A and B are shown apart, each in its own frame.
Chain A
Amino acid sequence: MRRTRLLLTGLLLVVSLIIAACGGGPAAPAATPAGSATTPAAPAPAGGTDATLTEFGDLPRHETLIVDILTGRVGSPDDFNNWVGWKWRDRGMQNLANEPLWSVDFATGKIIPGLAEGDPVYNADFTALTIPLRKGVTWHDGQPFTAADVVFTVETLMKHEGFGDNSFFVENVKSVSAVDDHTVAFELNAPNSRFHTRFLDRWGCTWIMPKHIWESVEDPVTFKFNPFIGTGPYKLHSFDPSGFWTIWEKRADWDKSPTGMMYGEPKPKYVIFRYFANEGAKILAQLTHQVDVVNVSSDGLKAVLTQCDSCRAYQLNWPYVVNNDPAQTGITFNTARAPYDNRDVRWALLLAIDIAEYMGIAVDGTGALSPVHIPSLSNYPKDFIQPMLPWLEEFTLDLGNGETFKPFDRNASQRIAEYARSRGYAVPDDPAEQAKLFGYGWYKYAPDVAEKLLVKNGFTKTSDGKWLLPDGTPWKIRCLTGTQLATGMGERNCVAAVQQWKRFGIDAEVYSSEAAASLNATGDFDVSSNWPAQEPWGAGPDLYRVLDYYNSAYVKPVGENTSGHPSRWSSPEMDATIEKLRQTDPTNYQAVVDVGIEGLKIAVREMPGIPTYGYVGFIAWDQTYWTNWPGAENPYTQPYTHWGPFKYMTPFLQPTGTR
């Protein structure tokens, strides 16, 4: 009995010790480096110790901006060598600490020169170019940024196969040299009017290495580049070895960064990129003011806006979401497989979709439609979609037996507006505002026409309305997609399409797989939710990135890897258009637009993938500590903290003074 008592007492002692150690939380932090005291983020509930008080340690909360990292827990937190593999660059590397030569800002439609001082200058046949560089820029360690850094970067990348950009530069560059300290000259192996876009940051590009650091490195491929040295306005403060947070601190000489030179002093002294393993914790953190910016799901955004008085979304009213992300979602067909190698079949599947219902299922009506293979945002409606409307309205399908059908429906967006109203959402009456929200039209819901197209190609229907393939076997569609069925933009397309096709009489199902990326690459699918076209730049009129996706040079047989071109569709006509675009000066605005429209028309006629709605982003900003976010009413820059131009947002943020 005495032994039992002793044992019990011992156990109680251990538990008591732990509770005693943990009970009050860590002691209040000491004075901050700036000398100001750390203060509570929010009033502590009566009778309790507010854990949020001590969570930020020595960082003064009122000078610290906290955002969540989009791509998750950093797998290699001590490795900043972004030229090799994937290094979670959105944890502050691309968005705060680094400056590219140029950046894309999809909200303003502008290309922002960072380390470059202006546009590249090509020679007449696009075999050479010079790039003017910004003067007065220094690296985080005070060394000047010069043309020698650019030359060194390109030469180093060409020397080592382990670098991701190695093959691009080896293939394209004959020579690179510094004309003077602030001018770089390239000679190319072959004409390439888009060579410079390798340095254009659209969620990543080739960044410049500080020569004075890398030139003494023995093996640049395995070099960790820790501490990270960039030319951006923030420098590395510290990081979590487990990859849960990275902290950046404003440079004392922020005015030596392109951001500082162009826009002035960034306001937050510290920026923390923080990882949350689940959305619930992320939302709780925002409700308790422990994170200022979060990327959440549709339901998560609703929860934040309902519970948090100080929080706002990108749009102040419904649909609240970011609807100008430059990614076009939709459905991709594997055109190397029957019956998806048949244009009529692809069009039949499109016409079997009631887009208003589809949008309701996919994103509750919050996305902007696009009838062509670029999103309805930025300058794209003005440059491409609106000029194409007359053509789209006249575009005709041949149904056989002399019968034709004009599929375009200018009122499709109106149908989504009606859906939204039926859900009780406040939809503006102004057609121009509606077009901004829902796009400029799509295609008709015409199952009868779809039926004619299929019958024309030998498809039959059973007595109970199920479709049979021309060989008489049941038609089954497995829509390949990723695993984020509730939230993923790709996944939501498959979920919606399958429901539409089921109603049409096809045995359709969603095939959700962790291996979706590999299966897409090797062509082991019929239909997938892969983007139906490569995303455009998001700024400028150049659609080279979009159209080159269909280049026949990249088509591989099923079973072989074609990571860039899962639809495996191409045509001599499209190849000729791509070639024409290659020979068009990228700075000749109207010429680029005209060739772009030619390419988009071919894509519409052939429909290798169905473009549906633009990517919908769900972000919430807490305005307790920081305001003047670039919302839809004041889109001075793109709204994401994970995109490169986030650094250009920091000078415009305003501290509220809350402590």
Chain B
Amino acid sequence: MFLKQYLIPRLIQYVLVIFLGITAVFFIPRLLPNDPVLRTIAEMRARGSYLEPGAMDKIIADLQQMYGLEGTLFDQYLAFWGRLFRGDLGVSFFQFPTPVLDLIMTALPWTTGLLLTTTLLSWALGNLIGGFAGYYANRRWSRALDTVAMVVRPLPYYIFAFALLLLFAYLLRWFPVSGGARLGMRPSWTWTFVQSVLWHSVLPALSIFILSAAVWFQTMKLVVQNINAESFVAYAKLSGVREHRIVSRYVIRNALLPQITGLGLSLGLIFSGALITEIVYSYPGLGTLLYNAIVNGDYNLIMGITIFSIVAITTSVLIVDLIYPFFDPRIRYR
């Protein structure tokens, strides 16, 4: 029953979403007026290269051949799926002939390291504190936290992140102005490198953590306050159920359901990178890689990153769907 009515439809949906998503990602950049070959030539010219106008046709033909842009769109589409099934995302056009997978694998650890930590931490702390603040909504500390969250949450991220940079990197000089690790230091599993990475990631992490935790805090507080007003909670209180049990089993557990869905989506979005964070803190990651790929019409790189993102998001949603019955008995019994 569970398999037929719950699992299989979701698996079909999962595969279909990935297929359609990847197909859309293949075609959409090709509909833009940004031709990667012309863009490459224009960039080379803009950056001082003198390309003989007489030889231009030959250069264009060579680049089209090297980029795999020959043939009809359908030919290219079929070739793309063929490559994808072999685990080959092709080469970056703009960073030719570097394989797309190499570029993604260089950036991915930085992005996932930063975003996974901050997403999980902000989710856990925001919900935990928000849950208690919602249950004890009339306490002074709860109101104070609510005020702080109300002030912090509407701050534009860019301004907030830059303010942290100004305060801690320029005025106090506690943290570096930019980068993911010390200049001259190459990634390695040494304590010195890990320490340097942690030191450089404090400000970017803090900027994401604070704003994100404020959001989780506020939503959790509101949900808890609503559940707290439900009759089953009042009934539990009147029945003499102990308070910690009411909080943990009756209120927070129910309130967590939408938050778990939110966490699933947030985790999936990790693979799109954090563009503004990367720009403010000059942090190496997928965000700027994707941005530059779009600007330069680098189809293969756009597809490579978005394929990761599509698979990550759909997988997160699938996992959330699959584990939901464990949290929500209503689904389990249906």
Contact = CB atoms under 8 A, between A and B. Distances in A.
Interface of A: 1, 3-4, 7-8, 11, 14-15, 18, 21-22, 25-27, 44-45, 48-52, 54-59, 71-73, 75-76, 79, 84-86, 90, 161-162, 164, 166-168, 171, 197, 202-205, 221-222, 237-238, 240-245, 247, 272, 274-278, 280-281, 284-285, 287-288, 290, 513-515, 517-522, 524, 545, 548-549, 551, 553-554, 561-565
Given A548-B53, A563-B56, A284 B177 contact: yes
B110 interface: yes
A204 B178 contact: no
A11 B125 contact: yes
B173 interface: yes
A11 B66 CA distance: 52
Given A59-B184, A276-B178, A45 B172 contact: yes
Which of B33, B175, B180: most chain A CB closer than 10 A? Answer: B33
Contact of B55 (A4, A11, A168, A287): A168
B185 A57 contact: yes
Contacts of A240: 186, 284
A564 B42 CA distance: 9
Contacts of B196: 26
Contacts of A221: 97
Contacts of B81: none
Interface string B38-59: 1111111111111111111111
A164 to B, nearest CB: 7
Given A76-B98, A221-B97, 16 more contacts: A48-B174, A55-B176, A57-B182, A58-B184, A75-B92, A76-B92, A85-B96, A90-B47, A164-B49, A204-B50, A242-B180, A278-B279, A284-B165, A519-B33, A545-B50, A561-B57
A7 B182 CA distance: 34
Given A278-B282, A285-B178, A562-B56, A86 B38 contact: no
B141 to A, nearest CB: 14
B156 to A, nearest CB: 14
B158 to A, nearest CB: 9
Contacts of B183: 55-57, 59, 245, 247, 272, 274
Contact of B38 (A166, A287, A522, A548): A522
A202 to B, nearest CB: 7
A638 to B, nearest CB: 13
Given A86-B40, A162-B66, A204-B50, A51 B184 contact: no
B3 interface: no
A554 B62 contact: no
Contacts of B96: 76, 84-86
Interface of B: 32-35, 38-60, 62, 65-66, 92, 94-98, 103, 106-107, 110, 121, 124-125, 128, 162, 165-166, 169-180, 182-187, 192, 195-196, 198-199, 201-202, 244, 247-248, 278-284, 288, 292, 294-295, 297
A52 B179 CA distance: 12
A564 B56 contact: yes
Contact of B47 (A50, A161, A204): A204
A337 to B, nearest CB: 17
B34 A26 contact: no
B195 A241 contact: no
Nearest to B45: A563
A204 to B, nearest CB: 5
Given A8-B128, A284-B166, A21 B295 contact: no
Contact of A563 (B38, B128, B170, B202): B38
B163 to A, nearest CB: 11
The A contact surface, by secondary structure, is: loop
A204 B165 CA distance: 36
Contacts of B54: 171, 553-554
Contact of A277 (B62, B125, B182, B279): B279
A52 B173 contact: yes
Contacts of A14: 121
A290 B174 contact: no
Contacts of B53: 548-549, 551, 553-554, 562-565
Contact of B165 (A49, A280, A522): A280
A167 B180 CA distance: 41
A327 to B, nearest CB: 9
Contact of A241 (B94, B172, B187, B279): B187
Contacts of A241: 106, 186-187
A563 B42 contact: yes
Contacts of A72: 292
A73 B39 contact: no
15 contacts: A4-B248, A11-B125, A44-B173, A51-B176, A55-B182, A56-B182, A76-B96, A197-B50, A204-B47, A205-B50, A274-B183, A276-B178, A515-B32, A517-B41, A551-B53
Contacts of A290: 177
Contact of A284 (B58, B169, B295): B169
A330 B49 CA distance: 20
Contact of A222 (B52, B97, B166, B179): B97
A160 B280 CA distance: 42
Nearest to A73: B288
Nearest to B37: A561
Contact of B292 (A11, A75, A515): A75
Nearest to B36: A518
A287 B95 contact: no
A240 B43 CA distance: 23
B126 to A, nearest CB: 11
A422 to B, nearest CB: 34
Contacts of B280: 277-278, 280-281
Contacts of A549: 53
